[in-house]
Structure 1
C-alpha cells in the first residue's frame, strides 16, 4: 500500500527523453528558443549599454574602410563593364544572398573586413541590377542558453543534438528595388552580438529565403572566419557534429542548383566550400572576390 502523503511528496516523474540512437545524424534538441530578427530589433535582444563602444567602432571603421572600398570598387570595374555589355546577362533572373558569420572570433578587424566586403558587393549588385539580401547568424546567448537549461531539466540525455538558441539577423531583405545598402549592417561591430556559430542551419535558413519563382541563378555567399562552433552542442555530441552537418548542407544545396560560395577571412575555408577564396588583407578584397564571382555571374 502506498500512503497518499508519499504520493504528494514524491509525485511520478515524466520519463526521460530517449537518447538519440544515431548520434552522428544531425538533430536538434529544441528550436523553440530560436529567433529571427530584423536589424532594427537587435537592441531588444542585447540592450543599448554598448552604444558608446559601438559608436567608437563605427567611427574607426569609417576612418579606415573608405580606402578599402574604393580600391575594391576599382578592382570590380572591368568585371561590371563586361557583364553589363553581355547581351545574355539577365539581371532579373539572378538573386544573391550574403550570409555573414557573427561568431565571437569575428570581432574587431574581421568584422570591419566582413562589413566592407558586404558593402562593396551590395554596391556591385546594385549597379548590375541584381537583387540581393544581407543576413547574419549567431546565437542569442553563450553556453546554450534556454535550450541547455531545458535539456538539464529533462535529465540531460546523451547526444541531445544542437543545444543552443539560434539568432538569425536580416540586415537587407530581397527587393527588386534594392537601393544601396544601408548602415544596419554596422551592428556587426557590436561585440555583445557576436557569440557562437551553427553554420549548417544558417545556410538552410538563407536558402529558404530566395524568391520562389522567376530565377535562373541563385548564389549564396558565406563570409566566415572558421569552422562551426557551439560549445554547448559540441560538449554533448560527437566532435564533428556541426562540421559534418555543414558539409552535408553544402552538398544538398549544391544539388538543388544553389551556387554556394565561401569567402574565408584569414582562414582557408576550402575544406568546407569547394568554390571559395581566402582573404588575409583588405587589399585582397576586390581582386579575390571579383575573380571568384564574375565567372559565376557570366552567362554560359
Structure 2
C-alpha cells in the first residue's frame, strides 16, 4: 500500500513538474533563444503561442524574420520588446520511428524582459510597460516593494499619469530613481526597469577637471623655456662675474709688480738699518 501511494505521488510530481514554467530573461532590444531541449531527432514543425495568440515562426534556416526556428527546435526572438514578456508555449511536432503519426511535446516559458534607462532631472519619462497581462507595477525602496500602479485601482502617486499603455512620470527627480517591476496576476515578474538619474553635475565636474588639466599642460608648454632661459642667463652672469674677478686680480698683481720695479730703480742700493 505504501509503495503504491509513493508511486502515485511520484507520477503526480513528475507530471506537474514537467509543466512548470521555465524562466528566461532577455534585455530589451536584444535577442533571446527558447531552448526546446527535446532529444527526438525527427522534428517536423514548431509552433509558438503567447497569451495573446499565435506567433509566426520562420521554419527555414537563416531566415531574417524576427522569430525563427534555429537548430533542431529552438526558437530565436530578435529585437525584444516589453510586449514579449509573459508566458510562451513552444509546441514541437516530431515523428515517432515506430509510427507515421506525428506527435507533439510542449514547453512553457516565462519570459522576463529587463531594461536600463538614464533620465535627466525635471524631464518626463514614459515607460511602455502596461501590457494587457500587466497586473501591477511596484518600485523598490528602503521599505521594500511599493505599489505605484494596479489594474482596477489605478495610480498610487499623483506625480504619474497613464496613457495608451504608458506609465508616465511627469517630472523626474532623484526620488524616482530605482528599480520598477511589472507583475502579472500570478505575481510572476514580466518586466524590470532600472532607472538612474543622469549625473550632469559629475559630467560638469569632469569637464572642469579636464579644462584644468589642459590649462596646466598648456602652461607647462611655455613655462619650461622661460625657466631654461633664466637658468642660462644666471650661468652667464656667474661666468661674467668670475671672469671679471680674475681679470681684476691679475690687474692688481701687475700693479704691485710695477711699483716694485719703480722703487728698485729709485733706490738701487737700499740701506739696512
What TM-score does the superposition give when structure 1 sets the normalisation length? 0.21
Larger proportion of strand: 2
